[in-house]
Amino acid sequence: MSSTSTSVPLLSTPDLSHTWKRATDEPDWVRRSLITIALVFLGLFLVLPLAVVLYSAFEQGLGVWYAAITEPDAAASIRLTLLVVVFVVPINVIFGVAVAWAITKFEFPGKPLLLAIIDMPFAISPVVVGLIFVILFGSQGWLGNWLSAHDMRIIFAVPGIIIVIAFGTLPFVARELIPLMQQQGKQEEEASLTLGASGWKTFWYVTLPNIKWGLIYGVILCNARAMGEFGAVAIVSGRIRGETNTMPLHIEVLYNEYMFTAAFAVSSILTGLALVTIAIKSTVEWFESRHNAE
């Protein structure tokens, strides 16, 4: 029909697009209502909280926002949070890459158990995580006397904060890399080895470029979660202003003191980070789907 359609008057080729329905399609009204319900739900739960944070942060102008985040205690909380991230992210990246390498390139007994253990910190309440370390290192805890005798502080100090955040963000890089590396198999690594490359060179030139995007997302997610960790830090930090308050704790303090604009100003930084995180995730997935389509 299509080959002759130019010579036939338009009227004689009925447009089927309105009457003909695919077997897998719902009626129009069903489709529209479902989309509407979904968007209203997501609007209420995702867009409004986002909007209220950004609106409240910038409500009184950029000057107030800037003053709020550069105020000494706020600046100290930002510095502390960045310091924590500098320790936590690299070690969890090393762990994530190492454990993903061991799990995906080798066969060994107990692999499912190891996978389950990696997932565990994710299932444990952050509050329990904090409690565990208070019991171990707190002044009333098991090692408390020994620590104070040696003039070391872990709880209500920076080391405790680093430890609980490392615990809480332990799985993120590994969870991104394991499925990715599993799917890629080990053939390219084997090819590299047959060509005479050493193990390090194989990792550096072959494996790393292949997992680059997954690793970047893992790092960003680990970073965002590290900066935003709250429950565990709330227990071990002691909330010493300008000293052991991370950004989320500082937000809590400001909020409880009814300094809402300042609380939202600090929140807006973390919110921006969260938006960057999900943007990167979406970009990585887009790259991967394009890659797989080839």
Partner 1 sequence: MIHAASRQRNVIPGFTLTMGFSLLYLTLLFLIPVGGLLLYTSLMSWEEFWRAVSHPQVVASYKLSFTASLIAASINLVFGLLVAWVLVRYQFPFKRIVDALIDLPFALPTAVAGIALVTLYASTGWVGQYLNLFGIRIAYTQLGVVLALTYIGLPFVVRTVQPVLEDFEAELEEASSALGASRLTTLCRVIFPTLLPALLTGFALAFARALGEYGSVVFISGNLPYKTEITPLLIVAKAEQYDYNGAAAIGTVMLLAAFVMLLIINFLQWWSSRRFSH
Partner 2 sequence: MSIRIHQINKRFKDFVAVDNVTLELPEGELTALLGPSGSGKTTLLRIIAGLEQPDSGRIEFYGEDATHQHVSDRGVGFVFQHYALFKHMTVYENVAYGLTVKPRRFRPSKDEIRKKVMRLLELVQLDWTAHRYPSQLSGGQRQRIALARALAVEPKVLLLDEPFGALDAKVRAELRRWLRRLHDEIHVTSVFVTHDQEEALEVSDRVVVMNQGRVEQEGTPEEVYDHPANPFVYQFLGNVNRFHTHIESGHARIGNLSIPAPELTDVDQKSGLTYIRPHDFEVLAEKSAENAIHAVIETVLVVGPTVRLELRTDSADELIHVELPKHRFRELGLLQGDDAWLKPLNSRIFLASA
Q: Among the candidate windows 19-27, 112-120, 190-198, 244-252, which touches partner 2 by CB under 8 A?
A: 190-198
CA distance 30 to 129: 46
CA distance 135 to 170: 20
**Which pair of structure tokens corresponds to residue 256?**
């409880």
CB of 189 to partner 1, least distance (A): 6
Quote the distance between the C-alpha of residue 151 and its chain's center.
36
- What DSSP character marks residue 25? P
Contact call for residue 206 and partner 2 (CB under 8 A) = yes
CA distance 138 to 89: 25
* Chosen from partner 1, partner 2, none, partner binding at 241 (C-beta under 5 to 8 Å by type): none
Nearer to partner 2, 18 or 291 (CB): 291
CA distance 273 to 50: 12
Contact call for residue 203 and partner 1 (CB under 8 A) = yes
* Chosen from partner 1, partner 2, none, partner binding at 290 (C-beta under 5 to 8 Å by type): none
Q: Among the candidate windows 18-26, 117-125, 187-195, 224-232, which touches partner 2 by CB under 8 A?
A: 187-195
Residue with tokens 């129009």: 28
The stretches of 17-157 forming alpha helices (DSSP H) are 28-42, 48-58, 61-70, 72-105, 111-123, 126-137, 144-149
Contact call for residue 146 and partner 1 (CB under 8 A) = no
**Which pair of structure tokens corresponds to residue 292?**
């797989």
**Which pair of structure tokens corresponds to residue 237?**
């930090």
Contact call for residue 121 and partner 1 (CB under 8 A) = yes
Q: Binding-site residue total for partner 1 (CB under 8 A)?
A: 100
* Chosen from partner 2, partner 1, none, partner binding at 203 (C-beta under 5 to 8 Å by type): partner 1
Quote the distance between the C-alpha of residue 188 and its chain's center.
29
Contact call for residue 209 and partner 2 (CB under 8 A) = yes
Q: Which region, left, alpha or beta, applies to residue 110 given φ > 0 means left and ψ of -120 to 50 means alpha?
A: left
Contacting partner 1 (CB under 8 A), which of 68, 130, 213, 262?
A: 130
Contact call for residue 198 and partner 2 (CB under 8 A) = yes
CA distance 254 to 269: 15
Contact call for residue 128 and partner 1 (CB under 8 A) = yes
| Residue 157 near residue 244 (C-beta atoms within 8 A) | yes
Contact call for residue 179 and partner 1 (CB under 8 A) = no
Contact call for residue 79 and partner 2 (CB under 8 A) = no
Contacting partner 2 (CB under 8 A), which of 108, 150, 196, 256?
A: 196
263-292 residues near partner 2, rule: CB under 8 A: 291
Query: Within 10 Å of residue 253's Cβ, how many Cβ atoms?
Result: 18
Contacting partner 1 (CB under 8 A), which of 69, 157, 259, 270?
A: 270
Contact call for residue 84 and partner 2 (CB under 8 A) = no
* Binding footprint of partner 2 on the chain (CB under 8 A): 187-188, 190-198, 201, 205-206, 209-210, 212, 291, 294
